[in-house]
Structures are given as C-alpha cells and as structure tokens.
Amino acid sequence: MNMSPSPDDLILCQCIFSTPKDVNLKIPFGKLDDSENLSRYALAMPYEQDHLEPFARKGDVCYYEVLVTDTQPEKLSSLDENLEKVVEFDRKSLMEAGIPGLAFPYLTLTEYSPLIPDLLDAWQDQEGQEYVIINQRSNWESLGQYFARNHVPNNQVFHHLQTMAKLWKDLHKLKCSQTLLEEDNLGVGDSGDLEIKKLYFDDLHNPPHLRQLVELWIIILEENNQTDKATIIKGLMEQIEEGQIDTIKELSDALNIIYQQAQLDDLLDDAEEELLIPPDDELEELTDQFDFDEVDDDQDATVINSGDSIDEQPTVVLPMTLLSLAECGMTDIGMKRSHNEDCFAVETKINKRETPQGIFCTGKGFFLVCDGMGGHAGGEVASALAVRTLYKYFQDHWQDGLPDEETIKEGILEANRVIYDANIEKGNLGAGRMGTTVVMTLVQDNQVAIAHVGDSRIYRVTRKWGLEQVTTDHSVAQAEMKNGIEPEIALARPDAYQLTQALGPRKREFVHPDVNFLEVKEDTIFLMCSDGLSDNELLENNWQSVLLPLLSAKANLQEGVAHLLELANQINGHDNITCILARIKVQPNLEQKNPLI
C-alpha cells in the first residue's frame, strides 16, 4: 500500500523554468499528469498565472521561479540517471543525454558549492519547456542585513567581495554576470560564507559591465553602516573610471591588496584588545633590556610576539631565527595518464635545544620536484635520474651553510649530464630524447635557496603578502614577455607553453638554471609542484581557502597536500600531480646578543 509522505519528509526546493515569449506560460505542477517528473514535484503554494513575472530574460526566453516540494526525495532523480550517460562534459553532450541547456551553468559551477545552489534535478518536457530544481536557501539573510546586524571584521567584508570578483570571471563566460548584480540574490548562510539564491541570465543586448559590480558594493556598504569600507571601494571605482582597472584580474589584484591590509589591521586590533601590545613604559624597558639601539640600521628585522602563541601578530623589533620546519610531499597519477612521470624527494634534519631564553632550532631541508617527459617510461626515468643525482650531489656539497649559486648550478648541470648521457647511450634523437623539469628548495635555518629549470613552479605563502610565485616558467611565452612582448600577444602563440629549457635533451651549454636566495622573516609556506597542480591558475584561485590556513602550527600538512591533489584532479586532472609543502615558522632571535649555549 502506498502512503503519502508526511510534511516532515517533504523537501522545499526552487523550480526554475524557461518559456519562449511567444508560447503561453504554463505553470508547472498545476495538476498531476502522465509526466513522471511533473508528478514528483508539487507546488509549495498557490500561484496566480496572470501575476507570475519572469525574474530574467535571455533573448526570446523568459525565466520563472516557483517554490516546490519533492514528494519522492528517496528516489533517484532524472538528472542523476542522465548524467550517467554523459561521456564528455559540454553543452552538446549534456543535451544529447537528455539534460537541458538550462542546467549547464549550474553543473559547470558545482565547484563553488555551497556558494552556488546545488542542482537537484533537471529535464525538458515534450513542449520544449526546460526545468531545473535547485535547493532552497534556509537560515539565510541578505548581505545587506548581515552587514547591518553584525560587527563584521574588515577582512571578512573584503573576503566576501573577493569571492564575488572570483565568481564574476566564470559567470561572465557563462553569460550569467547579472547573478551578482541582484542585491536580493546575495546573502550569507549559517557558516558565515557568501551564498546566492539562483543564477540570473544576462541581457544579451545590454551585457553587464564590471563597474556595475563595484557600484553595487558601494551601495550595499553605504546603506548598511559600512561607510569606511565604502570609501575604500570608491577608490577602486575611481581607478575604473580612470582606466587603471579594466579587467576582472586587475580588480581582483587590487582587492587582494586591500584584503591583505585588512587582515593585518584586524590582527593588530585583536592584539590591542587582548593587551598583547605592551604600554610605552614597558616598551622602554624591553628596549633597554635588548639593546635595540645597537642593531644595525640595514639589518633585516621583524617583531616580537608578546603573547603565548607564535601565530599571533608580533610587536617588538628583533632579527629572526628558525622555530620549526615541517614538510609533506605527495604525488598522484592524475585522471588521464597511464603512468606517473613525476618524481620528488624530501629530507629534513632538525636540531632543537632549550635554554632559559626559550627553545631554539637549527635545521636543513632538501625539497625537490621533477616532472619528466618523453613517454614510454622515458619521462619517469629522466625525473628519477635527476632526483637521485641531485640528492647525492648535495649530500657531498652541502655542509654547514647554504651552497653558493655556482655550487647549486653545477649540481643541476650534473643532473643534466647524467640524463643527456643516458639519451646518447640509448640512441635517443631530437624530440625523442627524455628530459625533465626541476624545482628545488634548500633550507638552512631561515635562509632559503631556490632553483629551477622548466615550468614546474615554486610558490610561497605568507600572511602579509599572500601567494607569490617565486619562479618564472622557462617557456616560449615567458621568453617573449621578457623581451617586451605584451602578455596577451605572447600567450596567444600556439607554442606559448612550449619549454625553452629542460634537463636531459641538450648539452650543458644550453641549460641555464635560475637560482635565487631568500630570507624567511615571517612564517612562510613554500610550495613546489609540477604543472598538474599549477595549471589553470588553480593555486591563484584557491590559495586563501586551501593554503593560508596551513600557516598555523596546528594545521596538518599531510591533509593539506591531500586536499590540493584532490582539488587538482577535480579542476585539472589531465596530468600527473606532485606537490611538496614546507612550512617554516620563525621567532625573534633572543640569543643574538648573549647566547647561553
């Protein structure tokens, strides 16, 4: 015997449906009929057909919204059944599998969940009317209400604006930018994260402009007691009007600077509230105690953390020393390759000692990622040869202090010789020669040397400066830009991403490693990776949520690397993926003047 579901079993959803202008509007679910999909959903409230207004138009199509309940939530949706038939993810393949075009932008943006509502079902009826069912927001308040009712930190406000700027880029491609220009469509959920109710489609005859997004930010901030932040955003509007900001990337870069400053300001405010910053008379005593007036003017310095946690914002100037060094490396074959041509190596040595002045560390770290090329086992042979050669070389040529530039270059050139000789011995010719990229980071206390050949990359992440790429790809496009060619022209070349350097295919005179030396003055994460992770600006788009939290000593680096590999398989997946994270935490060097040991 069939039983009707109880009210508690019903799931409230939004139904978005489209109708051509010249076709009579038919409110769905008005009566049960032979359609299996229509019989599953029921109107959650009565609707007057004559008073139902479209919320968006795209060309000759109108889009409507009604609330419905799912009367069979335990049943597999027609969308799930049709998705199993999809081989290639594109609009044509989806429609061939019975999934309407209206569902395409929701499916494309699933990586933004829960920012974008989840697509629960989608189909097209016999008359050509398309339907999508999306989740209805609960415990949701508009962005304006959230700003007005809550004391929102500066960095959180600008984080929400950054999120919108990032989403604008993808919405613009899908012709859905209007989604971010509807004030009532923007809100905050239980988690405090930004959420939107539904996608709006652009007017093809009058597409939205980037300046409208910034104008809306100013309106929302001014109307909800955020005038100081509105003043900052007005500065961005002036840059747009003067032509200094013309693209979403330029706007995102400008917002990133504002966000970083807001983070710093909020940290300082928190420190003051918790009395972490000493009064002036205590600062004088500290100055006398540590003889700060004797510190050389040109000496690199940072500030003391006077609280219990090394993660807190510091306050008094002192040179820095190593507090801890942690690392993790992983590799993954990816989603499309039959074998893994990446190889990596990680080794750290830590010495810790305790004195009445505190705990002090000295340490060394050797981190190496190689991305092989050549196929048919050539790539993995080349990358493995490079890792083995470099590891042995630096065991012999790295003793007390960091090796100098010439020593590092010679190590890389020795790896090139080993692979090149193997190519000659096997009779490999021209493009058939195996080779590999290399990125290497050497850590000695808080001093770091980085070196690379090819397009594998090294990034660093700090709270103050965010994500920075500290290597430049050895590629045709980058060589062109170095010679003054505009980036748009250089990147448009068909061979833009072809390597100009690699280890193994050619003699040493054709290999020119880049070597640089850095000093760690604040807590820093160094990330070394193959292009399976760095492609498609994956790190640039996700570093704040994935990498920034890993600066905390409490964060698990192994989980962080695993998350990065999973994300790379979702967004890229076309290549092998290798990643090493090295977290260097530093502290003021209290032993500098009077060491006890």
Q: Quick one: pLDDT at residue 547? A: 95
For 49-66, b where at least 16 C-beta lie within 10 A, e where not — what string? Answer: eeeeeebbbbeebbbbbb
| 287/299 Cα distance (integer angstroms) | 16
Separation of first and last alpha carbons in the chain? 84
CATH fold group of domain 319-588 = Phosphatase 2c; domain 1 (3.60.40)
- Average confidence score pLDDT of the chain: 81
Average pLDDT over residues 19-37: 59
Judged against a pLDDT cut of 50, whether residue 352 lies above it is answered with yes
| 496/103 Cα distance (integer angstroms) | 34
Q: Which residues pair with 348 in a beta bridge?
A: 365
**Coil, strand, or helix at residue 69?**
strand
Which of 173, 251, 245 has its CA nearest to residue 207?
A: 173
Within the chain, all domains assigned CATH 3.60.40.10 are found at: 319-588
Q: For residue 317, what pLDDT band results from cuts at 50, 70 and 90?
A: very low
Tokens of residue 128, six digits: 């050509």
Judged against a pLDDT cut of 90, whether residue 180 lies above it is answered with yes
Least confident span in 270-279, 301-310, 394-403, 439-448: 301-310
Q: Quick one: pLDDT at residue 205? A: 82
Q: Quick one: pLDDT at residue 77? A: 85
- 3-state secondary structure string, 277-318? CCCHHHHHHHHHHHCHHHCCCCCCCEEECCCCCCCCCCCEEE
Instruction: Write the DSSP symbol of residue 5.
Output: P
Percent of the chain surpassing pLDDT 70: 82
The whole-model pTM stands at: 0.50
Average pLDDT over residues 533-537: 90
Q: For residue 275, what pLDDT band results from cuts at 50, 70 and 90?
A: very low
- What is the DSSP pairing of strand 466-469 with strand 61-70? unpaired
Q: Quick one: pLDDT at residue 218? A: 92
Residue spans of beta strands (DSSP E) within 356-498: 358-373, 435-436, 438-444, 447-453, 457-462, 466-469
Judged against a pLDDT cut of 60, whether residue 207 lies above it is answered with yes
Q: Quick one: pLDDT at residue 397? A: 94
Do 528 and 441 meet the contact criterion of CB atoms below 8 Å apart?
Answer: yes
Within the chain, all domains assigned CATH 1.10.510 are found at: 141-272
Judged against a pLDDT cut of 50, whether residue 386 lies above it is answered with yes
Q: Report whether CATH 1.10.510 matches the domain 141-272.
A: yes
Length of the chain (residues): 597
| 301/294 Cα distance (integer angstroms) | 13
